[in-house]
Amino acid sequence: MLSERDGLMHRIGKTVVCPLLSSDQLASHSKRDKSLDDRRVVVVDGTGLSMPDTPENQSRWPQSHRQKPGCGFPTARMLGLFDLSTGGHIAHHLGNKHTSELAALRHLWSALEPSDILLGDRGFCSYFDIAQLQARQVDTVTTLKKRKPAKATEAIEVLGDDDLLIQWPKPRWAAHYRYSQADWETLPEYLPVRQIKVTVGEPGFRTQSFYLITTLTDPVAYSAESLADLYRQRWQVELYFRDIKTTLDMDVLRCQTPDMVIKEITMHWIVYNGLRTVMIRATKTRPKVSLNAISFKACIQAVRQWSAAADPNITPAAQRRVLRELLESIATATIPDRPGRTEPRCVKRRPKNYQRMTKPRDQMRVTPHRGKRAKKAA
């Protein structure tokens, strides 16, 4: 039996929090890719989070076993689903260091709708998951992981240059699989998939070629070029996580208990989807501006700057004028298109030359003469 307070919080969560966490309202304003039959593309990826070193957090999200007790921080693994057309958050699963991305994805199957297209990297190339999602009328686009690429002589049909329709045989059962043998027995003996070899012709890229695996087997409705371009857009999920972790400061959480950590993450997602909604509305003022061209950081700065002008006592006409000017200022803060631009994955700013903590703080002592100059002077 729910108490009056619990019932109130349940109603608030159902009527306020859930709609803000969902991307349905964002999708109503989005423009989906016509080459994909206006189907929703859901991009998936995982990331890591850290939080304060408390016994409660350590029991829920233990630190790495390579770190000594008291010298590390609890680490959580998060898997997120995003709408590729809007960048909106659909759902997420929070696990610990033992939670694989595939296992986390299986907790989010209910968030996928029939006719969705799931877009992921090679970590989601799994016979079991592709077959189960196809049974739910969800198609997948991933890159080939462990299996050897099929040859043209092994294909059911050659659909084009480096474009083959093949059959994957059912893998043998193994005890280390993260699903039961009963689930394995329900899998089909063969899984028809499409294998497309994509050659990267742009200089500066580490990968020269890769193989796409997809259940979108119709070459007329889904050309090899459109699927290759779709997989290139998968990089957007890295930018979505950068927006939520770096720009909104969710990389290092602050709460001391697991319940508060979950609430803190929920509030970050609410703010993220709210800002995405503002960005989508801003594109309506300038139809030629792409949503991906609008700066997420500039949107936050504009909302903070214009919030001072949001006086509730002004007339409705003045409120509409302030909102219109806010959206126009966001739409003008665009990022230039720089195709093929590469950046090394390195850090420019040097860390402080402090000693690394190798013992708990109450046992740690500063090592004398750590520097070569100080040692020589002594």
The structural architecture, per CATH, of the domain 36-247 is Alpha-Beta Complex (3.90)
Residue range 20-30: average pLDDT? 57
- 173-229, pLDDT tens digit by residue? 888 888 888 888 888 999 999 999 988 876 666 667 889 999 999 999 999 999 999
What is the pLDDT at residue 178?
81
Average pLDDT of the residues in 126-147: 93
- What are the counts of helices (DSSP H) followed by strands (DSSP E) for the chain? 13, 9
Mean pLDDT on 310-315: 74
pLDDT, average across residues 80-100: 93
pLDDT of residue 234: 93
pLDDT band at 335, cuts 50/70/90? confident
Q: What is the pLDDT of residue 34?
A: 60
Neighbours of 217 (CB within 10 A): 16
The structural domains of the chain, with segments of one domain joined by +, span 36-247, 258-332
pLDDT band (50, 70, 90) for residue 62: very high
Average pLDDT over residues 148-158: 90
Closest CA to 226 of 45, 39, 83: 39
For all residues of the chain together, what is the average pLDDT? Answer: 84
| Sheet with 157-160: strands ordered across | 89-95, 75-83, 41-50, 117-119, 139-143, 209-214, 190-199, 163-169, 157-160
Q: Residues near 24 by Cβ (< 8 Å), separated by ≥ 6? A: none
Evaluate if residue 29 carries a pLDDT over 80.
Answer: no
Burial class of residue 243, CB neighbours in 10 A (0-12, 13-18, 19+) = buried
pLDDT over 60 (residue 49): yes
